[in-house]
Amino acid sequence: MNTSDDINRKQNRNNGLLGEELEVDSDVNEDRNREQQLDDSFQYWYRNVGYWVQQKEDITQVPKANVFDAAADMDAE
């Protein structure tokens, strides 16, 4: 059986609140530079992934042409 107190707790959980209006993701111990560090880290990671994708493409030297067109040209020779 759900009491009104249980229903209120569920509603508060859905709103991101616990108990007496305490936020789950409270900024009490927030590091002021954390957001910038995360942004910088993500940008570095994203550039690094792009670099390695380019390296893979350069190493494999996959032709940019359509495979079927290239095969037809090879058959014609």
Does residue 39 lie in a domain region?
A: yes
pLDDT tens figures, 8-60: 555 555 555 455 565 566 565 677 788 888 899 999 999 999 999 999 888 88
The pLDDT, as a whole number, for residue 14 is 53
Q: How far is it, in rounded angstroms, from Cα 49 to Cα 57?
A: 12
Range of the domain at 56: 33-60
| pLDDT for residue 66 | 74
Is residue 15 assigned to a domain?
no
State the pTM of this model: 0.39
Name every residue whose Cβ is closer than 8 Å to that of residue 50 and which is 6 or more positions away in sequence.
Answer: none
The answer to the question of residue 8 being in a domain is no
The count of domains in the chain is 1
Q: Rounded CA gap, 69 and 17, in Å?
A: 61
Is residue 53 one of the residues assigned to a domain?
A: yes
